[in-house]
Amino acid sequence: MSLLRSNGVPSSCEPCRKSKIRCDHAVPCGRCRRRRKPALCVYQPAPMSKHPNRTDRSSTDSISCGGGSNITTSTSISSAWTSPLPPPSLVTPSLPPGRLRDGYLADCSHRSTSTPSTGVFGPTSYLSVLRDDVDDGSSSIALFAKSLQQNTSAIIDDSQIQLGAELLLILLDDFALYEHMATARFDHCQGDLFPPSALRLILSSIRTMLHEAISDPANPLPFLLVLSRSIFTASSKPLVVDPAITPTEYFSTMPNRWEIIGLVFAVIGSSACLLPQHDLAAYYPPNRPPLDKKGLAAVCVSASEICLRFFDYTGVISEQLCWATLEHASLLTLLYGDYDYRPYKTLSALITLLFTLGYHHRDATSKLPFFRAEHRKRLVIATYAMDKGLSTFLGRPPRMIRRYITIDPPLDIAFADIIASSEVLDAAMKRLDNNGWNAEGAYTRGSYTRACFMMGVVREAVLEISLDSNIVEGEGSKLEGKITEVSALAAKARLSLPSSLYRVSTPSDFDRCPETAKVCLFVHMDSLYNEFILQRILVQRTGASTEKLIAVAHELLDKLLLLVANRAVGGGDRNSVVWIISSLGLPPAGVLAVELLHQSQNPNSSFQSAGEFSRSEIVQNLSRFAADLEYVVSREAGNYDVCQQAKSVIRHILDRVLGGRVPVVEAGEVVEGGNGSGNNRRDALGEKTGPGFVARDWISWDFNAWMDEDSDLVRWLNSFE
């Protein structure tokens, strides 16, 4: 309980009083609890008589919105959830035993949240015993929709409303710049889920909402507090959509939801990662310092995450929440890289949402308008493709399995055409064949995603073999049998694709139709990478010849260099090219570099003498690839560090090979940093002969070989001059 001032009014705690912000007079107050600084929430009987030398560490952190106005409050987004507690000497007076706990308990009792959404039930759920119709997916989805309508609104804490108002204030500052960034990013990336036409509708509705809510532009915060409360009220209830709604109405009538605000923040952050600085100069005020793009992206990550966290209180899940989560996961990969834990965790949350909502079931789209059904299918498939990409990149089990997804693949039509006028849509529909593919062979990025979905069973089978620890050395016939089965499955899956889609692209194809050539090359490289993984497993576990592995790696790297050489002049496909370089380029380049080193150590090997190893061509390709790692992968890319480490290793090997400084390891040579037990270098690296020890070490390659300075490979390369 707070102290009373001389006029009988309860006093404010010290952080609220110094920040001149309204206090709720609790112990600790809601604002200090939200900032995770309850120990600073103290009430002084005579605050103005406080000792002048005592320091007070109430937060005055600020959020810099890329050159926009700084918000200097104690509710900083960057520190609201992570700020440490102050030293004990600053906590005065101390709270009575149990008072801090009782304050939290009272707050949790007051915050009566809504009933959490249970989601769609399957045939093995507890409800199937009571309701026979739960076996029918449509009945389960209808039951879930009915339960959402009965969901009650949550009581929102004032501290959340304050934080929401600050998020809106960030959007209000430089909204014109953010609006340009959100749509201009499509000049530098490819996407089909939210084309510029849909984003413009969403951004326009948010701009209208902000301007209508603010009566005094000079002092917007009080009005944004009211707007924040109304957004919480709307977000605490499920979104009811008229079945007859048009695309324009659909994307422009939901600005008052935190899912959409979080989606916009994630889009702005992704744009900050993708757009070059000179593209923003024309839209940025000349009297302000240059925009800190990486800082803005980090702020957008925090803002988007806070919007997503709001729904932990309300318990409401929706399709729009899936949108925001997908864009947030994409932003995390752009900012932190595919190997970071955060995008992997966010993708898990998204997959959980999709399965909970039942969007993996065919009946989830059966009663929707055409444009909504197509958009939802693209949402599911984009998540599925991201899961397969990350699972392969990290060498982990996939979380989204194709056999549990019963939806039909979306049509091979750009979503921008689907939400355009009826004339545009009719013309696009006429260009489709009976299987939903573009009959003219004009493929887009959406075509590639559709192909990935249809070929996903192959990648899942490849991952299953690579992650199956039950197949050990000595069971080569069993492993070869499984690989043969996967090859047959891949051949069958390719028959479901148009023959023109998996043709091998040539430089002349890029001259005629670069977009189609690029999509065809993506599909071909995916098939090659499946074969590359299988051959590497065969070599690693059975000791088979590396001849076929080297051939597949050589072709894969050659096609990658063709793709990089024909990238868009303006950088419109930079994001796709960088991802392909890091995911499909590093492993084959590593295998080729090690084989090159091995052949230099063994110039009379039968493999080289048979003419199967084109030394000069591989040296040229590795040199080009190392240059691409340096100049094509920008510093802002999330995978920049791993690419630069790979570049250093490849160039180090090329220097050793071309400079003729490749030593043959002598027996008994002790490894630096060893345990001192007399193990020689080749024994420490698990090989029986000196000259060939590196090859097996890198053929069973993982990211530690690139990133870890103490890995066997990097340590060996650095051990001689």
The tokens for 550 are 């080297």
Q: Give the residue carrying structure tokens 């050489």.
A: 565
b vs e for 302-319, b when ≥16 Cβ sit within 10 Å of the residue's Cβ? bbbbbbbebbebbbbbbb
The tokens for 161 are 């409303």
Band (pLDDT 50/70/90 cuts) for residue 410 is: very high
Closest by alpha carbon to 255, among 216, 302, 306, 307? Answer: 307
At position 177, the amino acid (one-letter code) is L
Q: Give the residue carrying structure tokens 């009719």.
A: 426
- Would you say 118 and 147 are in contact if contact means Cβ atoms under 8 Å apart? yes
Residue 122: how many other CB atoms lie within 10 Å: 16
Lowest-confidence segment of 79-83, 220-224, 624-628 by average pLDDT: 79-83
Q: What is the pLDDT of residue 80?
A: 37
Whether pLDDT at 306 is above 50 = yes
Is cis: bond before 220, omega within 30 of 0? no
Q: What is the pLDDT of residue 540?
A: 84
- Would you say 548 and 524 are in contact if contact means Cβ atoms under 8 Å apart? no
Q: What is the pLDDT of residue 52?
A: 45
Domain boundaries, the chain: 14-110, 586-717
Q: What is the pLDDT of residue 381?
A: 94
Model pTM score = 0.79
Whether pLDDT at 501 is above 60 = yes
Start-end of H helices in 497-573: 507-512, 514-542, 547-565
For 544-570, the pLDDT digits (tens) are 888 899 999 999 999 999 988 887 666
Q: What is the pLDDT of residue 83?
A: 36
Q: What is the pLDDT of residue 54?
A: 42
Mean predicted lDDT score pLDDT of the chain: 77
Q: Indicate the Cα dihedral angle 4, 8, 14, 17, nearest 10°.
A: 170
- Would you say 15 and 58 are in contact if contact means Cβ atoms under 8 Å apart? yes
Whether pLDDT at 190 is above 70 = no
Whether pLDDT at 124 is above 90 = no
Residue 216: how many other CB atoms lie within 10 Å: 9
For 395-408, the pLDDT digits (tens) are 999 999 999 999 99
The tokens for 270 are 């992704």
Band (pLDDT 50/70/90 cuts) for residue 690 is: very low
For 603-637, the pLDDT digits (tens) are 666 554 444 568 889 999 999 999 988 888 888 78
Task: Give the CA count within 13 Å in the CB-facing half-sphere of 595.
Answer: 30
The tokens for 296 are 């803005």
Whether pLDDT at 443 is above 70 = yes
Spatial distance between the Cα atoms of 266 and 623, rounded to a whole number of angstroms: 37
The tokens for 401 are 């399995």
Percent of the chain with pLDDT over 90: 33
